[in-house]
Amino acid sequence: MEMAKRLVIIAGVIILVAAVVGGTIGSSRRLRRSVSVGGSVVDRPAEEIERDYNEAVTTISSSYAGEIDYEKATQAAVQGMLSTLDPHSMYFPYNEFRKLKEDQDSRFYGIGVTIVQHRDGVYIQSAVENTPAARLGLRYGDRILEVDGKDARDWPSEQVSKQVRGGRGEPVTIKVDRAGSEAPLYFTIVRESVPLPSIRDSYMIRPGTGYIGLTRGFQHTSDEELREALNKLKDQGMRQLVLDLRGNPGGLLDQAIEVSSEFLPRGQVVVSVRGRSEYSEPIVYKSSGTEPEDVPLVVLINRGTASASEIVAGAIQDHGRGLIVGETSFGKGLVQRVFQLPFNTGLTLTTARYYTPYGRSLQRDYSSGSLYDYIVRHDLDDAPPQPSSSPSGNVASPLAQTAPPPLAPSGPAVKTAAGRVFYGGGGITPDIEIKPVGFTPVRNRIAEAAFQFTRQLAAGLVPGLESYKVEKVLYGKNAKSVDYPISERVVEAFRNWVRADIQSSLTPAQLDEELEFVKLRLREEIITAAFSNDAGARVLLDADPQLLRALEALPDAKRLAETVRSGTSQS
């Protein structure tokens, strides 16, 4: 009887999903083609395929020799069905679906820490201000040993995050190893609602120049956060802006439209959506801004810029509202709707495609190659390097690298504002291409060693550098040059520490060759320990070759916008 009940549940879920997929594919009631016995290719009716599936389930349930995990079988069946469609239609079991909804709501229930995977476990990088973890004193460098009595020393960071999250008001006990403490420390923390804002940071990066890092996805609060950040920066004298969308995985369509509307005149097309079902007739979304910002604008993108963030970048580029700097974006132009299934599971299903204001498709081809190649962008990894001009003036970074050439366009040429021509079918190609800081195996080892060394430094355990001990995190403070300077004494202490650290596998010659990178990583780590993760991120931005190039491009962005407003074309 119990098996029969489970079978009803699995059948109900599969029937519901099949109805969704059938409605998306079309009303012809024809599904995938199969090869007949004679070798000819024919279309089979959906009813016939459905009977095959039901017969297979019945046969397995009645005849399989072992125990059947029906929940696992359901997940595999649904995800297998979705994987035949495209890379972005996905099934979400209960816990993953709950996390998806939490992310869209811009908050979740947890303890309030950012964690990072290192060579021997998961460590706390920073506690978030005004969260349970910060109030109880969890800090930079605490290694997580146990979560609620479960050994977490070999867990990846994803598993630690999953175990630490939970219901609001529920306690979780964390056991940590802290540098300078003879015994492990235990913290019992009551989970609270933790903010998960879209904007990582916003501040005046230069006099008159604002920076906004909208890097954490497009959620329900994204435009509200952006408007607050813009108003704050204008009060501080902002006359031009760099909007950072690097690593932004996308999110809610309406928020991408609202964010674009902050910079585009009212009534300009932001994106069009074409597909089936509710998109059988193309839907054109236009800017709703009444008083858009007219400051010179540069948008930063990279290979992790996807979906909704590509919509924003594409709209800015098509209309000539600003310049795009960085790397070619991911190329996700498929629209997913979220469907909730029985028992609080769910799926995202592709229902349409995005197109930029002038008609470029954002979607990169996924018909050949593996899903792994599609996700990690081997097409760009394999591109040979080509010479490019270095940034002029005094903003050039010693860490900058040559950008790869753009991929051959796979879509038709599209003429946009000011007569500029772009191509669809491969994400957003930046106006100015430049690679980020490169991470070689040696630099990876330096970064790891810098963290392990700074863990001792911030605990006051490095002889002669006790003044670098961090007694308390000072949130909201911008690091000055006199705060925890990376002096020759610090560098020499790091050299000595590396010599004694067998696991680092670094030589003195390697440190000398990468001395500027060594100083940068040490500075980023100690500022993170002293002033929080956001302050540490600013240290890296100060030496970021893409950001430095974006700052240099602001005058050109201003000229482009003026050209578009005057109605002339670029030569």
Is residue 532 a part of any domain in this protein?
yes
Q: What is the DSSP string of 225-249?
A: HHHHHHHHHHHTT--EEEEE-TT--
Residue 475 Cα distances to 214, 485, 527, angstroms: 20, 18, 11
Q: Are residues 190 and 226 in the same domain?
A: no
Q: What is the Cα–Cα distance from 450 to 438, expressed in whole angstroms?
A: 17
Q: Are residues 17 and 36 in the same domain?
A: yes
Binned at pLDDT 50, 70 and 90, residue 474 comes out as very high
Q: pTM, whole model, 2 decimals?
A: 0.80
Report pLDDT for 124. Answer: 97
Is residue 373 a part of any domain in this protein?
no
Q: Which of 382, 413, 437 is the last residue of a domain?
A: 437
Q: Are residues 234 and 318 in the same domain?
A: yes
Here the CATH number for the domain that contains residue 163 is: 2.30.42.10
Residue 50, pLDDT > 70, answer: yes
% the chain with pLDDT above 70: 82
* Beta carbons of 397 and 289 less than 8 angstroms apart: no
Q: In terms of pLDDT, which residue wins out, 563 or 412?
A: 563
Q: Which of 159, 176, 195 is the last residue of a domain?
A: 195
Most confident segment among 31-45, 85-99, 272-286, 527-541: 527-541
Q: Are residues 181 and 307 in the same domain?
A: no
Residue 17, pLDDT > 80, answer: no
Picking from 361, 358, 350, 357, the residue whose alpha carbon sits closest to that of residue 428 is 361
pLDDT (tens digit, 9 = 90+) per residue, 238-289? Answer: 999 999 999 999 988 899 999 999 999 999 999 999 887 666 688 999 999 7
Q: In terms of pLDDT, which residue wins out, 514 or 373?
A: 514
* Beta carbons of 470 and 456 less than 8 angstroms apart: no
Tokens linked to 412: 């038709």
Q: Are residues 190 and 259 in the same domain?
A: no
- Given 318, 379, 431, 544, the catalytic residue: 318
Binned at pLDDT 50, 70 and 90, residue 291 comes out as confident
Q: In terms of pLDDT, which residue wins out, 44 or 141?
A: 141
Burial of 99-138, coded b for 16+ CB within 10 Å and e otherwise, reads eeebbbebbbbbbbbbbeebeebbbbbbbbeebbbbebeb
pLDDT (tens digit, 9 = 90+) per residue, 152-182? Answer: 999 999 999 989 988 889 999 999 999 999 9
Is residue 549 a part of any domain in this protein?
no
In the DSSP assignment, the letter for residue 154 is T
Q: Are residues 79 and 124 in the same domain?
A: no
Q: Are residues 357 and 454 in the same domain?
A: no
365 classed as catalytic: no
Report pLDDT for 410. Answer: 63
Q: What is the Cα–Cα distance from 254 to 256, expressed in whole angstroms?
A: 5
3-class SS shares of the chain: helix, strand, coil, % to 5: 40, 20, 40
Q: In terms of pLDDT, which residue wins out, 44 or 402?
A: 44
Is residue 458 a part of any domain in this protein?
yes
- Given 175, 332, 519, 558, the catalytic residue: 332
Residue 484, pLDDT > 60, answer: yes
Q: Which residue has the tokens 């920066």?
A: 233
Please classify residue 459 by burial: count the beta carbons closer than 10 Å to its beta carbon, then call 0-12 exposed, 13-18 middle and 19+ buried.
buried
* Beta carbons of 314 and 356 less than 8 angstroms apart: yes
Range of the domain at 159: 107-195
Q: Are residues 431 and 463 in the same domain?
A: no
Q: Which of 195, 225, 255 is the last residue of a domain?
A: 195
Q: Are residues 145 and 275 in the same domain?
A: no
Q: What is the Cα–Cα distance from 371 to 87, expressed in whole angstroms?
A: 7
Q: Are residues 44 and 158 in the same domain?
A: no
Q: Are residues 19 and 163 in the same domain?
A: no
pLDDT (tens digit, 9 = 90+) per residue, 517-558? Answer: 999 999 999 999 999 999 999 999 999 999 999 999 999 999
Number of compact structural domains in the chain: 4
Report pLDDT for 105. Answer: 61
Mean pLDDT of the chain: 84
Mean pLDDT of 550-568: 92
The tally of CA atoms less than 13 A away on the side-chain side of residue 279 is 21
Report pLDDT for 2. Answer: 40
Is residue 101 a part of any domain in this protein?
no
Residue 371, pLDDT > 60, answer: yes
Picking from 81, 53, 60, the residue whose alpha carbon sits closest to that of residue 3 is 60
- Given 261, 272, 307, 329, the catalytic residue: 307
Question: Which region among 38-52, 350-364, 531-545, 546-560 has the lowest average model confidence (pLDDT)?
Answer: 38-52
Report pLDDT for 278. Answer: 67
* Beta carbons of 175 and 150 less than 8 angstroms apart: no
Is residue 138 a part of any domain in this protein?
yes
Residue 13 Cα distances to 78, 208, 292, angstroms: 8, 56, 46
Residue 460, pLDDT > 80, answer: yes
Mean pLDDT of 36-55: 68
Is residue 562 a part of any domain in this protein?
no
Interior angle at CA 84, CA 78 and CA 85, nearest 5: 100
332 classed as catalytic: yes
Report pLDDT for 464. Answer: 96
Here the CATH number for the domain that contains residue 299 is: 3.90.226.10
487 classed as catalytic: no
* Pairing state between β 107-110 and 113-118: unpaired
Mean pLDDT of 291-311: 95
Q: What is the DSSP string of 6-59?
A: HHHHHHHHHHHHHHHHHHHH-TT-EEEEEE-TTS-EEEEEHHHHHHHHHHHHHH
Is residue 519 a part of any domain in this protein?
yes
Q: What is the Cα–Cα distance from 516 to 510, expressed in whole angstroms?
A: 11
Q: Are residues 160 and 222 in the same domain?
A: no
